[in-house]
Amino acid sequence: MRGVLTHNKSVQYGFVNGGTGRVTQLDFTPTGSVVAQFRLDDTGQEVYVATKPTKCCNDTYERRPLPLLPSHCVTVHRVQGVTWEHALHIVLNSEFFSNGQAYVAISRVRRLSQLHFWAFDMEAFKASPVVDDIYAKLREHCQLTQRLVDACADRMPGALPVVAVVAVAGAKRAREAAAASRDGRPRL
């Protein structure tokens, strides 16, 4: 069975929460615990994972969860922060509901060849309005900078455009500071 670890068994050896692999064997102990032999996908190493008794509801009963979940499919939330080393199959459809969720889904791999889309809906890509505003301001700033560079290049052929942009931007900031001050003197 495919599985995903749900706790940190051994960080040193890569057996961490979110690690995927295969359950290769299950053993039942006389005390009622279950021990699973788990082989990691990334390294092929094996670890034994056992149930841990947990008291519930004012000690009225005990549960014994195995710190593994079936993982034929996992949610985007579950793999956030994970770098996927194998092929990643994504159903990128309108069910993506959160800002940035589609980006998180497709950015889990190192190579584009690892991505396989079963559905691809552009409506899944949503950004925060705050992020949209920031990018709009950056685009506007880049367009202004390019116009300044072009204007300086026309007036001063051979001059370094970056120096001209810095000088013009500094002059603009000085004018704005002077306009904002009460006595007309620039405050930078």
Query: Is 185 part of a structural domain of the chain?
Result: no
Q: What residue numbers bound the domain in which 155 lies?
A: 129-180
Span 87-96, mean pLDDT?
84
Secondary structure of residue 38 in the 3-state scheme: strand
The whole-model pTM stands at 0.46
Query: Is 68 part of a structural domain of the chain?
Result: yes
pLDDT at 163: 46
* Residue of 28 and 171 predicted with greater confidence: 28
Span 80-109, mean pLDDT?
85
Q: Looking at the structure, do residues 110 and 174 belong to the same domain, yes or no?
A: no
124-154 burial string, b = 16+ CB within 10 Å, else e? beeeeeeeeeeeeeeeeeeeeeeebbeebee
Query: Is 10 part of a structural domain of the chain?
Result: yes
Q: Looking at the structure, do residues 68 and 99 belong to the same domain, yes or no?
A: no
- In this predicted structure, the answer to whether residue 2 has a pLDDT above a threshold of 80 is yes
Query: Is 110 part of a structural domain of the chain?
Result: yes
